[in-house]
Amino acid sequence: MQWVAIVAGLAGALWLVGAALLPTFGLPPFPLPAVEESPLAGWAIPTLPLIATALVGAVHVAAFPAAVIEVVQRDFVSPVATTLEQARSA
């Protein structure tokens, strides 16, 4: 899912940058297609993958601390606690 979002975001960014830079090089600009009927009416279509990529990234970053806590608990805290309990009981 993350790779799809990254590729879509890069494609949208390149599309927007290309549309902005073509006139700079003397080439004719190409029109950006826009959403016609939805709550996002008027938005340029290449902007939508950028927004989606940002949202997927935000969700992934929000889930990251929980995953880190789980791994630290499983791989570090639990073994150390078990070792300490064994040492105290010996």
Neighbours of 10 (CB within 10 A): 13
Q: What is the pLDDT of residues 21-47, one digit of tens each?
A: 999 999 998 889 999 988 889 999 999
What does 4-23 look like in DSSP terms, one character per residue?
HHHHHHHHHHHHHHHHHHGG
Neighbour-count burial for 22-53, b at 16+ CB within 10 Å, e otherwise: eeeeeeeeeeeeeeeeeeeeeebebbebbeeb
Looking at the structure of the chain, the number of domains it has is 1
Domain that includes residue 27, residue range: 2-89
For residue 70, pLDDT over 80 is answered with yes
Report the SS3 class of residue 30.
coil
The pTM of the full predicted model, rounded to 2 decimals, is 0.61
